[in-house]
Amino acid sequence: MSVPEKPDISEVFADNERVGRALARGVRDALAMHKALGNPVVECRDGEIIWVQPEDISISEVDE
């Protein structure tokens, strides 16, 4: 059995689309966890910091 080769990290970071998708998945997963646990999140809207209650957290789909 062969061990899969790890990708070169500099190549991964050079792929802006791949990095963007990974960040979007991370944000989506964090928001989903906060919503599921009933915890609010902080968001900046129009230059103001606001608390978003769990029932008002919207979770968008992320292209895989």
**pLDDT score at 62:** 60
Residue 1 lies in a domain: no
Q: What is the pTM of this model?
A: 0.74
Query: Domain limits at 50?
Result: 9-56
What is the number of domains present in the chain? 1
pLDDT tens figures, 8-47: 889 888 999 999 999 999 999 999 999 999 999 999 999 9
Q: What distance in Å separates the CA atoms of residue 22 and residue 34, rounded to the nearest whole number?
A: 18
Residue 36 lies in a domain: yes
Q: What distance in Å separates the CA atoms of residue 41 and residue 50, rounded to the nearest whole number?
A: 8
Half-sphere exposure of residue 2: CA atoms within 13 angstroms, side-chain side: 3
Q: What distance in Å separates the CA atoms of residue 51 and residue 21, rounded to the nearest whole number?
A: 25
Residue 64 lies in a domain: no
